[in-house]
Amino acid sequence: MTLKVYRSLLLLFLVNSVWTRTVRQVYDEMDPEHWSHYTFECPRECFCPPSFPNALYCDNKGLKEIPAIPARIWYLYLQNNLIETVSEKPFVNATHLRWINLNKNKITNSGIESGVLSKLKRLLYLFLEDNELEEVPAPLPVGLEQLRLARNKISRIPEGVFSNLENLTMLDLHQNSLLDSALQSDTFQGLNNLMQLNIAKNSLKKMPLSIPANTLQLFLDNNSIEVIPENYFSAIPKVTFLRLNYNKLSDDGIPTNGFNVSSILDLQLSHNQLTKIPPINAHLEHLHLDHNRIKSVNGTQICPVSIAVAEDYGFYGNIPRLRYLRLDGNEIQPPIPLDIMICFRLLQAVVI
Q: What per-residue confidence (pLDDT) applies to 8?
A: 55
Q: 217, 194 in Cβ contact below 8 A?
A: no
Q: 102, 128 in Cβ contact below 8 A?
A: yes
Q: What average pLDDT does this structure show over 129-151?
A: 98
Nearest Cα to Cα of residue 131 among 113, 109, 146, 115: 109
One-letter amino acid at 249 equals L
DSSP 147-211: EE--SS---B--TTTTTT-TT--EEE--SS---GGG--TTTTTT-TT--EEE--SS--SSPPS--
Residues 6+ apart with CB under 8 A from 334: 352
Q: What per-residue confidence (pLDDT) applies to 26?
A: 41
DSSP 90-146: GGSS-TT--EEE--SS---GGGB-TTTTTT-TT--EEE--SS--SB--SS--TT--E
- pLDDT band for 333, please (50, 70, 90 cuts): confident
Beta bridge partners of 110: none
One-letter amino acid at 74 equals W
pTM assigned to the model: 0.87
For residues 178 and 156, give the distance between their C-alpha atoms in angstroms, rounded to a whole number: 7
Gyration radius of the chain over CA positions: 24
Give the model confidence (pLDDT) of 20-74 as tens digits: 344 434 444 444 444 434 446 899 999 999 999 999 999 999 999 999 999 999 9
Give the model confidence (pLDDT) of 273-312 as tens digits: 999 999 999 999 999 999 999 999 988 889 998 766 656 6
Q: Kindly tell me the burial class for residue 327, based on how many C-beta atoms sit within 10 Å of its own C-beta (0-12, 13-18, 19 or more).
A: buried
Please count the helices (runs of H) and the strands (runs of E) in the chain: 5, 13
Residue 203 pLDDT greater than 90, yes or no = yes
Residue 183 pLDDT greater than 90, yes or no = yes
Q: What per-residue confidence (pLDDT) applies to 33?
A: 41
Q: Measured between alpha carbons, how far is residue 343 from residues 89, 128, 172, 256, 326 in Å?
A: 64, 47, 37, 20, 16
Beta bridge partners of 221: none
For residues 271 and 262, give the distance between their C-alpha atoms in angstroms, rounded to a whole number: 24
Give the model confidence (pLDDT) of 225-273 as tens digits: 999 999 999 999 999 999 999 999 999 999 999 999 999 999 999 999 9
Q: What per-residue confidence (pLDDT) applies to 20?
A: 39
Most confident of 129-143, 311-325, 326-340: 129-143
Nearest Cα to Cα of residue 151 among 79, 211, 98, 92: 79
For residues 183 and 147, give the distance between their C-alpha atoms in angstroms, rounded to a whole number: 17
Q: What per-residue confidence (pLDDT) applies to 308?
A: 63
Q: What average pLDDT does this structure show over 72-86?
A: 98
Q: Please give the DSSP secondary-structure letter assigned to residue 219.
A: E
Q: Kindly tell me the burial class for residue 43, based on how many C-beta atoms sit within 10 Å of its own C-beta (0-12, 13-18, 19 or more).
A: middle
Nearest Cα to Cα of residue 67 among 39, 94, 40: 94
More confident residue, 209 or 176: 176
Query: Around Cβ 249, how many Cβ atoms within 10 Å?
Result: 21
Q: What per-residue confidence (pLDDT) applies to 309?
A: 62
